[in-house]
Amino acid sequence: MDLAYLRAHPEHLPTFLTHQRIRETPVGGGSMSVASRLTLDDGSSVFAKTWRSGEPPEGFFAAEASGLEWLREAGAPVPEVIVALPTMIATEWVEPGEPTRAAAEQLGRDLAALHRSGADAFGAAWPGYIGPLPLDNTRAAGPWGAWFGERRLLPYLKISVDRGALSDSEIGLVERILDNLATYAHSEPPARTHGDLWPGNVLWAADGRAWLVDPAAQGGHRETDLAELTLFGGAPFLSSVLGAYREAYPLADGWQARVPLHQLHLLLVHTAAFGGSYRADVRAAAESTLREM
């Protein structure tokens, strides 16, 4: 199987893997998926992901493929989708490299161009996932604050509560934010966003560019992508990313104060999916947000 054959017959990839007709090299995967580098007969490689245990949720890999293709249409640096099947996804192989200041500045400009390309509505045209959890992509015209509260905070607050990942104190803080969100939130027209842009979803490549991977792509607020880049230690050369972004696409006044609000979505996803180890992060983001409201 070479790359041309794979493009023409993507449905045959699982059979070739089952019969060990393709060289498969494990690479770092996530908590839900198993990732491999597949080396084809012509020497080319692709990156493949399968579900770690059992069957993936319905539409899981289709959502990732749709998001990658939608971002790629806007010129974003994302891998090309080669295979999208119910049980797996395979994309072009991007050779890993090291972060550089030049790549960080280009990432800022790339994100600015992506966000400027816009979206027809908040949400997306396909059912979404973020991590292992469903993402309600029902499209909405806005305003952003109401949509963000209803579709991006409240569902993951409820799941977090159901699994006992938050105390009454954190629950009360987030509920106060929901009560006041409409008057505090700075609304903008929908931007075309990655949607899950924590630093681990930026692939610093050997070609000197930063690529975007594992999206939960959606029409959203551009500040959410940027705020997520600062989570969990922050992206390398973060100040260069943000500086180049702001030169290309200036942010509205007060954006720094709104960073914790935008981070709260992904932090609640973490308490919903992975439990109370992220409780303190939710509390800190909620308290910071409330101080600004």
Question: Given a cut of 90, is residue 140 above it in pLDDT?
Answer: yes
Q: Do residues 205 and 213 touch, judged by C-beta distance below 8 A?
A: no
Residues 6+ apart with CB under 8 A from 177: 149, 153, 261, 264, 286, 289, 290, 293
Question: Given a cut of 70, is residue 163 above it in pLDDT?
Answer: yes
Which residue of the set 42, 110, 136, 196 is catalytic?
A: 196
Boundaries of every domain in the chain: 3-92, 101-292
Range of lowest pLDDT (139-143, 162-166, 229-233, 243-247): 139-143
Task: Please give the pLDDT value at position 187.
Answer: 87
Under the banding of pLDDT at 50, 70 and 90, the label for residue 20 is: confident
Under the banding of pLDDT at 50, 70 and 90, the label for residue 29 is: low
Under the banding of pLDDT at 50, 70 and 90, the label for residue 275 is: very high
Given 3.40.50.12160, 3.40.50.300, 3.30.300.30, 3.30.200.20, which CATH number is that of 3-92? 3.30.200.20
Mean pLDDT for the chain overall: 95
The beta strand positions in the chain, using DSSP E, are 23-27, 33-39, 45-51, 81-85, 88-92, 128-130, 133-135, 191-193, 202-204, 210-212, 218-220
Range of lowest pLDDT (13-22, 161-170, 177-186): 13-22
What is the pLDDT averaged over residues 92-121?
98
Under the banding of pLDDT at 50, 70 and 90, the label for residue 30 is: low
Q: Would you call 207 a catalytic residue per the annotation?
A: no
Of 16 and 162, which is predicted with more confidence?
162
Question: Given a cut of 90, is residue 15 above it in pLDDT?
Answer: no
pTM score, two decimals?
0.95
Alpha helices in 34-128 (DSSP H): 60-73, 101-116
Q: Do residues 212 and 247 touch, judged by C-beta distance below 8 A?
A: no
Question: Given a cut of 70, is residue 265 above it in pLDDT?
Answer: yes
The per-residue pLDDT for range 73-89, each reduced to its tens digit, is 999 999 999 999 999 99
The per-residue pLDDT for range 38-58, each reduced to its tens digit, is 999 899 999 999 998 878 999
Question: Which structure tokens are listed for 198?
Answer: 């924590």
Task: Please give the pLDDT value at position 22.
Answer: 82
Question: Given a cut of 70, is residue 259 above it in pLDDT?
Answer: yes
CA-closest candidate to residue 111, choices 254, 217, 206: 217
Q: Do residues 62 and 199 touch, judged by C-beta distance below 8 A?
A: no
Q: Domain 101-292 carries which CATH code?
A: 3.90.1200.10
